[in-house]
């Protein structure tokens, strides 16, 4: 009797659990808001997406709050930028999540960088990497703005959502197709709108606009940070200003989460204009989607 009772309880638990999973939306956690939005775009109403960080945060330095473990614990999938962008905060959270579905090697562990070709992989010996500053050995992780990369990431997400939730395959394919159609149209608009800035020489605060520069034909001349993650000294700033004057730099771009005091000084003295540009969905309340983000970036570049 006692044994039969245990069997009944176990079966009930199994049925309830599997039934609940079938009814519920797929829970996806993204490390940044842009990836959260891309997941919503291709997941439609079959996914419930949350972001671990806000768009007005520096994604390198997100606090590894224990509360984030809760979201990861319940997630069916985790989408992250990769290339070690989140290495300072995400790995211990994933380990503490106790969630096998999102561990490395599982379908629910979606490294978005695996869908793109990373730039700026340092070609220096590994024991000399840190002498170059806090660079990312696997490549530049600030890749999500150009449409080519957003398209690749969206395709990867759709493929993985399909693998996890086969019943939603048709939805994911349809939403992906819708996203790509819109992206193709917008890409033409963005490139046409940005034609006026093609060839413009720029200086940026951090080396996080390289992919955008390559997409839109901007020419990176220098960086306010002498090396990634290293704050500028006066000598570097003076050198940079001189270089800007000689090179005819027209634009200084700083991400909106960085303080722009130094950037303003460099821009003013280098006779360039300063843009405090969004780099992520959620950077301002008006930027709710990937399309809003790129619209805002293009508008900022043109406005300058």
Partner 1 sequence: MLSSVLYCLWLQQQSPPPVPPAPPVAEASAPAPIAPLEAPATQATAPTPAPGSSLLNPALSFILDTTFGYYGRDAGNFAALGLPPAGDDPSPVNEGFGVQEIEIGAQAAIDPYLDGAVFLTIPNLEGIEVEEAYLVTTSLPANLQLKAGTFRSQVGRNNAQHLHQQSFTRRPLMTGLLFGIDGFRGPGAQLSLLLPLPWFATFYGEAFSIAAPDDPAIVSTFGGGVRSTPGNLTYAAVLEQFWELGESTSLLLGGNFATGRSWNCMGAVPCDPAVAVGPRSYLYGGDLYFKWKPPNATRTYGSLQWTTEYFARTLADGGPTEAAAYTEPVVQLARRFYAGARFDLVGIPSGPNLPRRYGYAAALTFAPSEFSRVRLYLQELTGPGVSSVTVGFVQAEYAMGAHGAHPY
Rule CB under 8 A: which of 140-199 touch partner 1? 148-149, 151-152, 155-156, 159-160, 162-164, 166
Candidate residues 48, 174, 257, 269; the one interacting with partner 1 per rule CB under 8 A: 257
260-278 burial code (b ≥16 CB/10 A, e <16)? bebbebbbeebebebbbbb
Interaction residues for partner 1, span 195-254 (CB under 8 A): 207, 210, 213-215, 217-223, 226-227, 229-231, 239-240, 243
Contacts 24+ apart (CB under 8 A), 62-70: 62/31, 62/86, 62/88, 62/89, 62/90, 63/89, 64/89, 64/90, 64/92, 64/93, 66/96, 68/93, 69/93, 69/96, 69/97
Q: Which stretch binds partner 1 (CB under 8 A): 24-32, 123-131, 287-295, 296-304?
A: 123-131
Candidate residues 31, 51, 57, 279; the one interacting with partner 1 per rule CB under 8 A: 57
Least Cβ distance, residue 137 to partner 1 (angstroms): 9
Q: Which stretch binds partner 1 (CB under 8 A): 24-32, 33-41, 133-141, 265-273?
A: 133-141
Q: Which stretch binds partner 1 (CB under 8 A): 117-125, 267-275, 285-293, 295-303?
A: 117-125
Q: Which is nearer to partner 1, 44 or 122 (CB)?
A: 122
Angle at which helices 234-247 and 261-269 cross, to 10°: 40
Residue 265 is a binding residue for partner 1 (CB under 8 A)? no
E strand or H helix that includes residue 274: strand 273-277
Residue 56 is a binding residue for partner 1 (CB under 8 A)? yes
Q: Which of 293, 219, 209, 214 is nearest to 249 (CA)?
A: 219
């Amino acid at each position: 009797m006692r044994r039969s009772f245990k069997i009944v309880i176990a079966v009930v638990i199994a049925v309830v659990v599997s039934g609940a999973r079938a009814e519920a939306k797929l829970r996806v956690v993204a490390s940044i808001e842009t990836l959260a939005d891309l997941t919503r775009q291709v997941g439609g109403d079959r996914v419930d997406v949350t972001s671990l960080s806000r768009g007005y945060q520096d994604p390198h330095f997100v606090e590894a709050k224990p509360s984030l473990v809760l979201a990861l614990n319940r997630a069916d999938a985790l989408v992250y930028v990769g290339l070690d962008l989140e290495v300072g905060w995400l790995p211990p959270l994933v380990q503490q999540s106790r969630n096998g579905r999102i561990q490395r090697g599982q379908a629910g562990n979606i490294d978005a960088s695996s869908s793109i070709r990373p730039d700026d992989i340092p070609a220096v010996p590994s024991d000399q990497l840190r002498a170059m500053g806090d660079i990312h050995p696997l490549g530049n992780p600030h890749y999500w703005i150009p449409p080519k990369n957003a398209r690749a990431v969206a395709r990867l997400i759709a493929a993985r959502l399909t693998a996890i939730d086969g019943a939603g395959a048709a939805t994911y394919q349809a939403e992906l197709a819708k996203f790509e159609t819109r992206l193709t149209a917008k890409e033409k608009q963005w490139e046409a709108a940005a034609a006026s800035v093609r060839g413009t020489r720029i200086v940026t605060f951090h080396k996080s606009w390289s992919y955008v520069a390559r997409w839109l034909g901007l020419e990176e001349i220098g960086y306010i940070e002498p090396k990634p993650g290293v704050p500028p000294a006066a000598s570097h700033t003076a050198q940079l200003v001189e270089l800007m004057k000689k090179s005819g730099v027209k634009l200084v771009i700083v991400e909106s989460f960085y303080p722009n005091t130094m950037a303003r000084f460099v821009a003013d003295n280098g006779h360039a204009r300063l843009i405090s540009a969004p780099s992520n969905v959620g950077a301002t309340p008006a930027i709710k989607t990937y399309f809003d983000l790129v619209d805002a970036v293009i508008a900022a570049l043109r406005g300058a």
